[in-house]
Chain A
Amino acid sequence: MEDRDLDTAVEAAGRGEEWAASLLYRAVQPLLLRYLGQKAPGHEQDLASETWLAAAQSLPRFEGDFARFRALLFTIARRRVVDHYRRQGRRPRAVVLEEEADFADLRPGPEDLVEQMSASEAVAALVGSLPEAQAEVILLRVLAGLSVEEAAQVMGRSAGSVRILQHRALRRLAKKFQGEGVTR
């Protein structure tokens, strides 16, 4: 689907047209679930619903294209995650690496393994071993499609800081995959 169609869908969705809402939902919901699945495992469906509800309420006043709408959606989702952990009285889970060792001996080879991964598993493989800030940058860049500047705005950091985080994350991943190969 072309971005032009999605831009039109954003405008139409602001008028309450169902087809446009469906188009946007289908385009963003998978990425949103993957993001939330990493940030709050087991609560991604509920948090995604809350996110869409809040986004729908702001849609009539929204001005921008699909990229901006997607950025808005992930910004809302990130806040919902924070609220979710605030309600539970604990900090977000940043890293999930428990299963890494279990699959270490089973990997047939990096390429084959990646080909067999689901999207969520690929996301976990990307950010699972990263510190929280680096993982957040990778998630926002990969799943939300945010630019460095947009990610910086969402995270409350400078663009330079985000670039550094992004660079360190990629170097860390490169080193890991070169030495250990891809695991899940």
Chain B
Amino acid sequence: MTSADDETTEVRTLDRILSGLVDPEDAPPELREVARLVRVAQGPASEAELSNAALFATEIAAVVRRSTAPAASPRWRGRVAKVVSAKVIALAVALVLGGGVAAAATGSLPAPIQRVVSDGLHHIGIAVPRPSSQRRIGPSRPGSQARAGLCQAYREAASHASALPAASLAELKLLADQAGESLAAYCEPAPLHPAATAVSASRSHRPSKPAPRAHGSAPAKTGHPASSKSHGRSHGGGGPVTSGPPTAGGRKQGMTSPGHGSNEGKAHRHHGSLPVTSHTHGTAPSQGKRHVHKGGSGKGPTPTTTTEPITTTTTTTLVHGNGGGSPGSGDGGHGRSGRPGRKGTRAAASRPLGLASCKSGAVFIAARGQSSCVSVGKEAQQI
């Protein structure tokens, strides 16, 4: 037997001793006591060591059974279910949010919600239609959407002495023909109900705020005979709230509150007393203390003569109280004076009877032979 064999035998013996498989008498003399100790160490259990065996066994079995239940179903099922659930939830949320945003952008939300959303988004620079606190009066015309856009383009083109694209013009003519009206008449905003007090009373005081299209639209043509009328309407974006036609400020207003919504815009928040204000005429830097007066004093863009006259069909005139600015825009005096109204007072001086009688916070409204100052604030005074 080699030394290697001896070593192997010794290792085996040691393994057997430690496993308790070697009788102490058969173990090497030097490891005999070790073998004895191992046997005792592996000896039978004492009473103390198994004192609660039954209780423990019951508990162990119960734990095993509890653990068996979830283990019966494959884990991947739970994971897949979780993933699918998460995706479904995410999709639902996205749909709801997307739908909500779309509805808000189109002004389709319920008025209170739309108002909140509009105000909230306005603070972060997103223009969303804001429902007017005033109701629209008068029947809506058919095809108002297309009509609004086309008419806006038409008026803008007219104000800038430019031509409307042929396609748009053709379509507009078609709509006008269908309505049995001339182009100009067709693009006139709907008549303002006398009771409608949605008057654009103020302009934004923010001189730096650009409102490039604010004036373009409505500028009554220079020397238009019915300047005041046409004027009042032309700025309907800031003023007339009834018809909701796209006005010069239409784009901007269209974004905020088509037709009339803009009136409740920023200026309203700024000048709380005014329920409706216009903020679409920002190009005319307001210089006065009261924006409703001086907004029209403007430095607004010079109105240009259109090749096709815009006839006015309504008799509504919206004038701000106190002889202030022209209705709703810096070019308030345009129609009347044939040039941009520089001073609201000057425009007021040439206005119809009773115009100057309206006090601050009221607007002058003349419609169908009747005129009145309609309160837009605390200081309103009824004539």
Contacts and interface: CB of A to CB of B under 8 A. Distances in A.
B333 interface: no
A166 B60 CA distance: 34
B63 A30 contact: no
A34 interface: yes
Given A142-B18, A142-B42, A166-B18, A29 B67 contact: no
Contact of B41 (A17, A49, A123, A166): A123
Contacts of B49: 29-30, 33
B51 to A, nearest CB: 9
A47 B115 CA distance: 65
A38 to B, nearest CB: 10
B236 interface: no
B152 to A, nearest CB: 72
Contacts of B61: 13, 16-18, 20-21, 56
Chain B, interface residues (CB within 8 Å), range:
35 or more
B177 interface: no
Interface in B1-60: 11, 14-15, 17-20, 30-31, 33-34, 36-38, 40-46, 49-50, 53-54, 56-60
B71 interface: yes
Interface stretch (A87-95, A97-105, A113-121): A113-121
A118 B34 contact: no
Interface SS of chain A: helix, strand, loop or mixed? helix
B41 A170 contact: no
Given A16-B65, A60-B71, A138-B18, A174 B31 contact: yes
Contacts of B166: none
Interface of A: 13-22, 24-26, 29-31, 33-34, 49, 52-53, 55-61, 110-111, 114-115, 117-119, 121-123, 125-126, 138, 141-143, 145, 148, 163, 166-167, 170, 173-175, 177-178, 181-182
Interface of B: 11, 14-15, 17-20, 30-31, 33-34, 36-38, 40-46, 49-50, 53-54, 56-65, 67-68, 71
